[in-house]
C-alpha cells in the first residue's frame, strides 16, 4: 500500500493526516499546538514522523502553509504567526528529515486546489476560491492550473482596493477588500457602531462582539448586525463582479467561518454580484457554491498537490 502525508500549518495548530493513495478520507490524523517546546519546524517534523505509515510506502508529503512562499522551492518567505520562518526552506528541511519529496504551497491556494480536485470545483477548468475568515484568502485555477505568478505571490484577491478612503488592512495598505469584509472587519465595524452608541442587541454582550456574534444577531433580526453584513456582502459582491470580469470562471467557491453566517451575508453578496456584472454572459453557467471540504480543504489540497507533483 502507498501513502501520502499532508500537513496544515496554522497559527494555533499544526495538523497532519495520513492518506492511502487515491483516497481523501485519512487513515489517521493528529494535531499539536504550533507553539510549545522546540521550533515549529521540529514540532512539525515530529508530528509527521508519528503519522508515518509503519508498513507500506510513503510517496510524499504536502504542506499547506500561510503567507508568502515559493511554491516551486518550498521556501517560506515570511509566515504570519511563525516569526521563526523567514526565508525558511521548509520543503528541503522536511524532505531531508523524512527522506521523501515534500511540496509546500500557500494554504488558500491548496484549499482551492483541494476543492477543484476533490470538492465543489470538480470538473471545472476555471475556478475562484475565496475563504472569508479572520482575513480573506483566495486561490485561483486557470486552465486547470493554480495561479501562482512569477514568484508564487499571486491570487491575493483580498488585497485589492475597494474603498480608497476605507480602513487600513492587515497588510498595512488602505481600503482593501479584506479591510472591509473579513471577520475582523465585521467585528471592528460592530465595535465602532456600539462605541457610537448605536442601538443593538450586541450591546448586551459581556465582551466585544466577534463576527460570529454579529452573525447570530443578524440572523435573530438585529438591525445593526444585518446592516453590517449587508455592507460586507455588498463589498464582496462588487469585488466578485470584478473578479468575474478578470477571470471569467465557471465556479466561485466560498469558504471560511464568516460564510457560515448564511443568508445575511450571501443574499446581499449574490444580489450585488449579479447587479454589478457588466454582461449576463459572465453569469451563464456560473456556479456560486459553498466550499465542500470545510476545515480539511488545506489538508486535502496538500495531498492533491503532492499527488500531482509533476503537473502543478
Query: Where do contacts with its own copies occur on this chain (CB under 8 A)?
Result: 68, 77, 125-126, 142-143, 145, 147-157, 159-164, 169, 171-173, 238-239, 241-242, 245-250, 276-279, 281-282, 284-285
* 5 versus 127: smaller Cβ distance to its own copies: 127
Nearer to its own copies, 53 or 68 (CB): 68
Other beta carbons less than 10 A from residue 130's beta carbon: 27
169/254 with CB nearer its own copies: 169
Neighbouring C-alpha atoms within 13 Å toward the C-beta of 163: 19
Element (H, E) at 230: helix 223-247
Residue 214 beta carbon to its own copies: minimum distance, rounded to whole angstroms = 22
| Residue 38 CB, nearest approach to its own copies (Å) | 29
Q: Helices 263-276 and 223-247 sit at what angle, rounded to 10 degrees? A: 40
Output the smallest distance, CB 175 to its own copies, in A: 9
CA distances to 4, 151, 241, 264, 272 from 234, rounded to whole Å, are 41, 32, 11, 11, 6
Q: Which is nearer to its own copies, 208 or 275 (CB)?
A: 275
In the bound state with its own copies, the residue whose beta carbon lies nearer, of 118 and 247, is 247
Output 149 or 294, the one with its CB closest to its own copies. Answer: 149
Q: For residue 289, give Cα distances in angstroms to 1, 34, 36, 217, 262.
A: 35, 31, 38, 24, 12
CB of 281 to its own copies, least distance (A): 6
Cβ at position 185, least distance to its own copies in Å: 16
Closest CA relative to residue 266, chosen from 294, 234, 305: 234
Q: How far is the CB of 298 from its own copies (least distance, A)?
A: 21
Cα–Cα distance for residue pair 130/161, rounded to 1 Å: 16
Residues 196, 45: Cα–Cα separation, whole Å: 49
Amino acid at each position: 500500500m502507498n501513502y501520502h502525508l499532508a500537513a496544515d500549518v496554522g497559527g494555533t495548530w499544526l495538523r497532519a493526516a495520513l492518506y492511502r493513495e487515491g483516497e481523501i478520507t485519512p487513515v489517521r490524523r493528529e494535531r499539536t499546538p504550533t507553539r510549545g517546546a522546540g521550533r515549529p519546524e521540529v514540532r512539525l517534523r515530529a508530528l509527521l514522523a508519528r503519522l508515518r505509515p509503519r508498513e507500506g510506502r510513503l510517496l510524499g508529503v504536502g504542506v499547506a502553509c500561510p503567507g508568502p512562499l515559493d511554491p516551486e522551492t518550498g521556501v517560506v518567505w515570511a509566515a504570519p504567526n511563525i516569526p521563526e520562518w523567514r526565508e525558511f526552506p521548509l520543503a528541503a528541511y522536511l524532505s531531508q528529515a523524512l527522506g521523501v519529496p515534500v511540496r509546500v504551497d500557500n494554504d488558500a491556494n491548496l484549499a482551492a486546489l483541494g476543492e477543484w480536485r476533490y470538492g465543489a470545483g470538480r470538473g471545472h477548468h476555471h475556478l475562484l476560491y475565496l475563504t472569508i475568515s479572520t482575513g480573506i484568502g483566495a486561490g485561483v485555477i486557470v486552465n486547470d492550473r493554480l495561479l501562482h505568478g512569477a514568484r508564487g505571490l499571486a491570487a491575493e484577491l483580498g488585497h485589492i482596493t475597494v474603498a480608497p478612503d476605507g480602513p487600513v488592512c492587515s497588510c498595512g495598505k488602505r481600503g482593501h477588500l479584506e479591510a472591509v469584509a473579513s471577520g475582523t472587519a465585521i467585528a471592528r465595524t460592530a465595535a465602532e457602531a456600539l462605541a457610537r452608541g448605536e442601538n443593538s442587541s450586541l450591546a448586551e454582550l459581556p465582551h466585544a462582539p466577534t463576527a460570529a456574534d454579529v452573525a447570530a444577531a443578524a440572523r435573530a433580526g438585529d438591525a445593526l448586525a444585518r446592516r453590517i453584513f449587508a455592507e460586507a456582502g455588498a463589498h464582496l459582491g462588487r469585488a466578485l463582479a470584478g473578479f468575474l470580469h478578470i477571470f471569467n470562471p465557471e465556479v466561485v467557491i466560498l469558504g471560511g467561518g464568516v460564510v457560515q453566517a448564511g443568508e445575511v451575508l450571501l443574499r446581499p453578496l449574490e444580489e450585488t454580484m449579479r447587479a454589478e456584472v457588466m454582461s449576463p454572459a459572465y453569469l451563464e453557467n456560473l456556479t456560486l457554491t459553498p466550499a465542500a471540504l470545510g476545515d480539511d480543504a488545506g489538508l486535502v489540497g496538500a495531498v492533491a498537490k503532492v499527488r500531482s507533483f509533476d503537473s502543478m
